[in-house]
A and B are shown apart, each in its own frame.
Chain A
Amino acid sequence: MKTKKKGFFYHLYKYRVFLLMLLPGVAYTLLFHYYPMTGIVLAFKKYTYAGGIWGSKWNGVDNFKFFFKSGQALRVIRNTVLYNMLFIVVGTVFQIAVAVFLTEIKSRRFRKIAQSCMFLPHFISWVIVGVMAFNIFSSDFGIINRLITSLGGKKIPFYTKPSAWPGILLFFNIWKGIGYGSVMYLAAIMGVDTEVYESAAIDGANVFQRIFFVTIPAIMPTVIILFLLSIGGIFRGNFDMFSNLVGSNGLLYGYTDVIDTLAFRALMTSNDFGMSSAIGFMQSVMCFITVVSANKLVSLYDRDYTLF
């Protein structure tokens, strides 16, 4: 047997098919993720149509000022982070629960139907969800208020009651994401060796013991990796969701305004590209810091669970 090290070109040739398959992915990433990053310079420029991205004049950190000058920076950062934490934690719990239940259900037919039903909301756009929400919560024609008044109760003015909105937003977020999110966990559970379950059964484990001592520990690496991935977007508000559900209702902003909706309002009339880039850039930097430090924390616990 030869032990001589093979050259670069040998490997290139040997894995040519795999490399070729990798090519589109690499090209895609470079083109749509790395090349546009050069546009970050706009965050530090006074954009004009004539100058474009490269020819416009530099203006230092002027573009960042409006965000802090609005006096609402802290509020929207807080809202963005808290909502995302809530969505990630509650969402993950629900998605895992659904995945576990689906695997425990024996009827194949029921399982398929249930899964399809839960998956469906993923395909509904937030615009439609916004209209649905208005028809549920509006004061005259909303289903809830109709029900209340027909039972002789007093209407609940959801659209002037900010404290109701974290719950409403959470509900719609979970409802829309549950089917799609649970697919990953389903796949992870399918990957667990059935022998482990068999031996657990022989040892006399009941359903709950099987879930808590076999299934959950087995999918923990997947859970952590997905958690880390979603942490990467923690400073980005889901603009579609917030703007379609809340609209331009200033009364609710205290509880519902996120970085993205604030920036949209501020720049909608002025079309200032520099200021919008500045906001995007700031969010990216904050997300980057968060994801790197979260990854570091996880690596202290167990290196195998980290992203990189």
Chain B
Amino acid sequence: MTLVFAGTCSHAPGITGRADRADPTQRKTLLDNFERMRQAIKDSGAEALVVVAAEHFANFFMNNMPSYCIGMADYYEGPIEDEEWLAIKKTRIPGNSDLSERLIKTIMRDVDVAYAQEWKFDHGISVPLHFLTPDYDLDIIPVNINCQGPPLTPLNRAYEFGRALRKACDAVPEKIAIVGTGGISHWPCTPDSGKINEEFDREFLDHFIANDKDAMLAYSDEETYERGGQGGFEIRTFVAVAGACEGAKGELWCYEPIPIYAVGCTVATMEVA
């Protein structure tokens, strides 16, 4: 067993870019739990962090859109966004092409994945890393699930991808942490930014924490769009982590609906045993 940590967290750009506009108590709860996750990853002895993300057109476009892609480079760059806007400095982030290649080869036995030897992070990865590896001293392996440009991979495939990822992690000697990062309900990048369906979020999180595969996979994209907005399609990252930890239970560390951050800010973990 070389998967040593699994969790999920939010990545909304407002968390860093509009940091001080949130309710201070809610923000403190969120930051405390990001810090708790940072410490947990460190304590796990993880030698690499796989970030299962839902990137936002920093690398992939509708001219050639992979449903699943894994980075296979020795370094990455990011964020692409204006530094002042996101309040994160552009930097080079360490990768591990050799480890990536070994993971990819194993995953390919079960799921067709694309790979990328260059990758520019956007807020979808840069915001979590800002809190989880603030010194950029841990090898990052970026994974993307297309959650932005339909047609989107079905949820059952995201679950299977997670299972394949787990199998691959367990086949390498390195200790690996996985963090899935996405929003649950949110309507970002619209005039409705700040709208959050807490009832939908808590229902989904209950299913995630229970690792109730059937309940999670029962959401149709139509229902998610209706109840959770276009941002809700990012639940695929949670589903993949659940698949990676099939049979295990999770724990919700933080859920704070913060309108100025445009999402219910979530930090959760999943057992890896």
A interacts with B: no
Instruction: Please list the residues of chain A having a beta carbon within 8 angstroms of any beta carbon in chain B.
Output: none
